């Protein structure tokens, strides 16, 4: 979803390497959150940023944040061509 709340595509494309780097960073961050290695203050800041982008409901739990990051990761994988169809959300561990 774009900053204006629509599902419109971005007006410019990005490079495959950019998507691959973002996918890797999201996976790393999700893993660190799952393991409890991200300080609470940083986790809140990340959650706030994801919320401002419209990808997380206000007051979401850390699991909600991890789910949002996972969903974003898979949408980027779809954009990169790793999936034929947009994948449904895959539940993250509790």
Encode the chain (94 residues) as per-residue pLDDT tens digits. 445 556 677 889 899 999 999 999 999 999 999 999 999 999 999 999 999 999 998 878 999 999 999 999 999 999 999 999 999 999 999 8
Residue 88 lies in a domain: no
Instruction: Please tell me the distance from the alpha carbon of residue 27 to that of residue 55, in angstroms, as a whole number.
Output: 16
Looking at residue 22, its pLDDT comes to: 97
The pair of structure tokens assigned to 43 is: 């986790």
In a domain, residue 42? The reply is yes
Q: Cα–Cα distance between 26 and 35 in angstroms, integer?
A: 14
pLDDT at 78: 95
Q: Which domain holds residue 59?
A: 16-80
- 79 with 19: CB under 8 angstroms? yes
pLDDT at residue 10, as a whole number:
83
Answer whether residue 89 is part of any domain: no
Number of domains in the chain: 1
Judge whether 90 lies within some domain. Answer: no
Alpha carbon 66 to its chain's center: 8
Specify the pTM.
Answer: 0.86
Write the CA distances from 35 to 11, 15, 29, 69, integer angstroms: 36, 31, 10, 15
Distance CA(66)–CA(78), nearest Å, equals 18
């Amino acid at each position: 979803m774009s900053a204006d709340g629509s599902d419109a595509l971005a007006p410019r494309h990005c490079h495959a390497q950019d998507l691959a780097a973002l996918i890797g960073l999201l996976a790393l961050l999700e893993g660190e959150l799952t393991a409890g290695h991200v300080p609470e203050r940083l986790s809140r800041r990340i959650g706030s940023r994801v919320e401002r982008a419209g990808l997380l409901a206000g007051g979401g739990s850390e699991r909600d944040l991890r789910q949002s990051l996972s969903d974003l990761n898979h949408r980027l994988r779809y954009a990169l061509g790793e999936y034929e169809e947009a994948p449904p959300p895959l539940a993250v561990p509790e």
